[in-house]
A and B are shown apart, each in its own frame.
Chain A
Amino acid sequence: MPLISKDLFKKPNNALEGGVDAQPPAAEERTVTCSECKAVLPLDVFKAQAHVCPRCGALHAMSARERILWLVDADSFQEMDAALLPQDRLGFPAYAGKLRKVQQESGEPEGVVTGTGMLDGMPCALFSMNPEFIMGSMGAVVGEKITRLFEYAAAQRLPVIGYIVSGGARIQEGMFSLMQMAKTSGAVLRHSQAGQLYIAVLTHPTTGGVVASFAMEADIILAEPKALIGFAGPRVIEQTMRQKLPEGFQRAEFIMEKGFVDRIVPRDAQRRELSQLLRAHRKEGLA
C-alpha cells in the first residue's frame, strides 16, 4: 500500500485545501513545494514530517489512508467495509461521472476509511475522511461506514478516534445525504451510552452537516492549528451579512476561544496526545 497517492502532487482545487505544487517527476529525488512559503522540500522529508512544512509550519492535506497509517502502530490497521460503493440514488446530473473521476484520482472508493488498529498497543476503532473525495462530503456510504464503525465499537467496547475533514453533506445524494446526520448521531449516542470514548480531530476544513452532527458530538474534540471549523462556510456568511469576516474568524484558535474545542494539537503532538487520552480512559485493571 503506497503511503502517498499520486494526488498529493495535484494542485489544490481552492485555497481552503492547501496543498503542494507538483514538480517534474524524477523518480530518484522527488520534491514538493510548500504552497505557503514556496520552500522546495524533498518528498521523504515532507512525508516524515506528516506533511508539515519544516520551514513555515504550514499543515498540508493528508489523505484519509495516510492519516490512519501515520497514526497507528505499524501493520495494525484492519480496514472495515472497504467494498461499500457509492450509488447515484437520485440519478443526479453528472454525479455518476464525477464519482468515477474522483475514484480514479484518489484511488479510494469513497470519502471515508474505517477500521480498527492499535495505538501504542491499545486497540481502537478509527475513521478518517478524505479531503480529496468531493471535498470530504458525506453521502450515504460515508454515513453508513461511520455508523457501522460506531456500532461495532459499541459492541466490542472500543474507543473511536475520528479524523474529520468535510465540506458537509453531499448535494448529489439529496436527502439521503442529510439523513446521514441523524443516523450517525444515533450511532454516536449508542456508543456513548455504552460508556465508550469518542475523540474527534477536526482538520481543515470541517464545515456544514458534519459539524452539525458527529464532529461536535465527541467526548473530546481536538483541532489542528488554523483549521477552518464552522457550520456555514465563510463565503455564505459574507453573502448573508454583506460584510467581510474578520481575520481568523472560524479558525481553530477562534473556535477554541469561543469554547467549542478542547485543545489545538499540532500534528507532531497528535500521536502522543491521543495515546495519552486512550491510556487515561483504559478500563482494564481498575478495581
Chain B
Amino acid sequence: MTAAYERVQAARQKGRPTSMYYIQHIFTDFLEMHGDRRYADDAAVVGGIAMLGGMPVTVVGIEKGVDTDEKVRRNFGSAHPEGYRKALRLMLQAEKFGRPVVCLIDTSGAFCGIGAEERGQGLAIAENLMAMMGLSVPIISLVIGEGGSGGALALGVADRVWMLENAVYSVISPEGAASIVWKDAGKAAEASEALRLTATDLYGFGMVERVFPEADGDFAALCDTLRTAFTQEFEALRTLPVQAMVEQRYQKFRKIGGDAL
C-alpha cells in the first residue's frame, strides 16, 4: 500500500458520488440531451442544459452508474466514440448560444473494444481535443473520481482544470503501467506512486488550478462550495475577451513539459 494507491482506491470507492450526483446538487433545472446524431446515445456520457444560479450552462459528465444494472447500462463509465461525439455536439451547441461548459470527469478510460475501434475511438478523442482548444466559451473541467488517460482528457481541455481531493488523473491505470513496465499488474501500488497521479501532484505540476477538499465525506457541502466556485470562475472568465481566453487556454497547455527544456 502506498499513499497514492490509497487515493486511487478512494477514487474508485463504491458509493462515491458520480457525475449525476454533482449535476443534481450543483445545478438546477437539468434537462438531459441524448445522442450524438451520428450513431447512438452512449449512456456512459450524460449531457444537457442546466442552470448555475441564474446562468444557463451546458454540462457534460462521464457517468459510471450507481447500482449494478445502471453500471452495466453505462458501461462502467467507459465511453464509446459516440459518447465523446455527444459531448462535442453539446459543447458546440453551447458555443453557438454563448453558454459556459462544465465537464465532469470520472472514467477508468475510453472503452477498448471492437465497436469502439470500428467507429473511430482515436478520432473521436482527437476531435474533442482540437475543438475544445478553440471553443469560444469558457470551459471548466472537474475530475471527480478517476481521470483515466485519453478518455478523460477528451473532456479535459479547459480554461480551468480542477480536481477533488481524492480524485486521480493518470496517463495509464496503475495496473496497466505495472504490467507494461514491470510485467506484473500486482505492482499497482508502486506504479501509483511512480506515476504521480494525485491531485496534489498535478497541482504541483501546474496542470490543475484548484484542489477541493472533500469536507470529510459531506458531499452536499462540497457541492455548495463547487457551485460558488463555478459561478465565480465563469464570471471572471467572461470578463476576458474571447481571443484572450482562448489564447490563455492554449498557452496553459502549451507550456506543459516544455517550460523546463
Does chain A bind chain B?
yes
Q: Is the CB of A209 within 8 A of B258?
A: no
* A9-17, A31-39, A124-132, A211-219: which lies at the interface: A211-219
- CA of A245 to CA of B113, assembled, Å: 10
Q: Is the CB of A232 within 8 A of B253?
A: no
Q: Which of B129, B169, B195 contacts A213 (CB 8 A)?
A: B129
Question: A216-B123, A232-B112 are known contacts. Are A185 and B261 too (CB-CB below 8 A)?
Answer: no
Chain B contact residues, majority secondary structure? helix
Q: Is the CB of B196 within 8 A of A175?
A: yes
Q: Is the CB of B122 within 8 A of A230?
A: yes
> Which among A187, A214, A231 has the greatest number of chain B C-beta atoms within 10 A?
A231
Q: Is the CB of A211 within 8 A of B253?
A: no
Q: Is the CB of A188 within 8 A of B130?
A: yes
Q: Is the CB of A260 within 8 A of B257?
A: no
Q: Is the CB of A87 within 8 A of B260?
A: yes
Q: Does A258 contact B (CB under 8 A)?
A: yes
Q: Is the CB of B153 within 8 A of A186?
A: no
Q: How many residues of B contact A (CB 8 A)?
A: 50
Chain A contact residues, majority secondary structure? helix
Q: Does B250 contact A (CB under 8 A)?
A: yes
- CA of A214 to CA of B251, assembled, Å: 18
Q: Does A61 contact B (CB under 8 A)?
A: no
Query: In the complex, what residues of B have CB within 8 A of residue A173's CB?
Result: 171, 257
Query: In the complex, what residues of A have CB within 8 A of residue B260's CB?
Result: 87, 89
Q: Is the CB of B120 within 8 A of A258?
A: yes
* A72-80, A141-149, A155-163, A275-283: which lies at the interface: A141-149
Query: In the complex, what residues of B have CB within 8 A of residue A85's CB?
Result: 261
Interface residues of B in 194-209 (CB under 8 A from A): 194-197, 201-202, 205, 207
Q: Mark B243-261, 1 if CB is under 8 A from A, else 0.
A: 0000000100110111011
Q: Does B110 contact A (CB under 8 A)?
A: yes
Query: In the complex, what residues of A have CB within 8 A of residue B125's CB?
Result: 212-213, 231
Q: Is the CB of B121 within 8 A of A212?
A: yes
Question: A185-B129, A237-B113 are known contacts. Are A90 and B195 too (CB-CB below 8 A)?
Answer: yes
Q: List residues of A whose CB falls within 8 A of some B CB.
A: 84-85, 87, 89-90, 92-94, 139-141, 143-144, 147, 169, 171-183, 185-190, 193, 208-209, 211-217, 230-232, 236-237, 240-241, 245, 249-250, 258-260
- Taking A173-B257, A213-B126 as known contacts, 5 extra A-B pairs with beta carbons closer than 8 A to each other, sorted by chain A number, are A144-B258, A147-B258, A171-B171, A189-B134, A249-B114
Q: List 19 A-B contacts (CB under 8 A).
A: A87-B261, A90-B195, A90-B196, A140-B256, A174-B194, A175-B196, A175-B201, A179-B256, A182-B157, A183-B257, A185-B126, A186-B129, A189-B130, A190-B250, A211-B123, A216-B126, A231-B110, A231-B125, A237-B113
